[in-house]
Amino acid sequence: MGIIIAVISGKGGVGKTTTTANIGLGIALNEKKCVVVDFDIGQRNLDMILGLENRVVYDMVQVMDEEVGLKQALIKSKMSPNLFFLAASQTKDKSVLNSKKILKLVTTLSEEFEFVILDAPAGIETGYEHTIEFADRAIVVVNPEVSSIRDADRAIGILDSKSQRVKDGGEVLKYLIINRIDAKMVQSGEMLSSEDILDILSIPLLGKIPEDRGIIDASNQGKPIILDKNSGAGRAYTRIAARLCGEQVAMEDIEMPESGLMHKIKEMFK
């Protein structure tokens, strides 16, 4: 049985879908069979980030309603033979989700894939509760910014009360990804540090991702930034994917601005 991981956030717009795409591809590049499922019904976006929007024929709602088979709806990525994608429905709304159908879908997927990654709607939206219901673990994405962190805490609270695992007396392990860190602002005390955020949310850290202008370019092209080895965010996602695959990768200190003489000289001419 594979592992089911929900990627969640409190509010929208923190980079949840970007994170799902990059982690999914990263895991697949580690030679693990991985499927990413877009649960953000009515707001299909993961297909764009993965560059697969032209290949979507069937969606996960049609699979859940048994209108089409799973095999027909799964889209294989060209970037890795180990990565598959199941699209959200664009025409329906989040009220179509129901527990029984979701359980069946994720169970079937976990029989075939080592990793089943669910891109959840934001925690304050309907549909969120259903997405996290059968997850084994959750990855919480936040930005170093007050509203994102506060809402994340609420989303974690909902997870802990609605999860089937918790109802069964178990626990859903939660990991934190801090996205869009600006090293300079952290150093000058204008932005919450990862330490501050961990103090407040008290869940283990999975990774820190620097603010990266390349993210826009990556989404413009539909090529997840993890493919760009020169990008700070791409390298951060590579480390996170390795950690999820069980490797011990040291936490890189991306909260210190780049140092070195060349960098200082460059800065002087900015």
Partner 1 sequence: MFSFFKKQGSAKTAKDRLTIAIMSDRQNGSAFPFMEQMKAEIIEVVKKYMGVKAIEIKKEVDGDVEALSIDVQLETNA
Query: Which positions lie near partner 1, rule CB under 8 A?
Result: 145-146, 149-150, 153-154, 157, 161, 185-186, 188-193, 196, 199-200
Rounded to a whole number of angstroms, the minimum distance from the CB of residue 124 to partner 1 is 12
Nearer to partner 1, 96 or 198 (CB): 198
Nearer to partner 1, 98 or 147 (CB): 147
Nearer to partner 1, 95 or 161 (CB): 161
Rounded to a whole number of angstroms, the minimum distance from the CB of residue 162 to partner 1 is 9
CA separation for the pair 168, 182 (Å, rounded) = 40
Burial 47-74 (b: 16+ CB within 10 A, else e): bebbbbeeebebbbbbbbeeeeebeebb
Rounded to a whole number of angstroms, the minimum distance from the CB of residue 134 to partner 1 is 17
Number of DSSP helices (H) and strands (E) in the chain, helices first: 13, 8
Nearer to partner 1, 107 or 193 (CB): 193
Sort residue 116 into left (φ over 0), alpha (ψ -120 to 50) or beta: beta
Nearer to partner 1, 166 or 249 (CB): 166
Q: What are the φ/ψ torsions at residue 201 (nearest 5 degrees)? A: -90, -20
Residue reference for tokens 């069980």? 246
Nearer to partner 1, 3 or 200 (CB): 200
Sheet of 205-210, strands arranged across: 75-76, 83-86, 34-38, 115-119, 3-8, 137-142, 173-181, 205-210
Rounded to a whole number of angstroms, the minimum distance from the CB of residue 52 to partner 1 is 37
Rounded to a whole number of angstroms, the minimum distance from the CB of residue 202 to partner 1 is 10
Dig out the tokens for 153 from the structure: 């805490």
Rounded to a whole number of angstroms, the minimum distance from the CB of residue 201 to partner 1 is 8
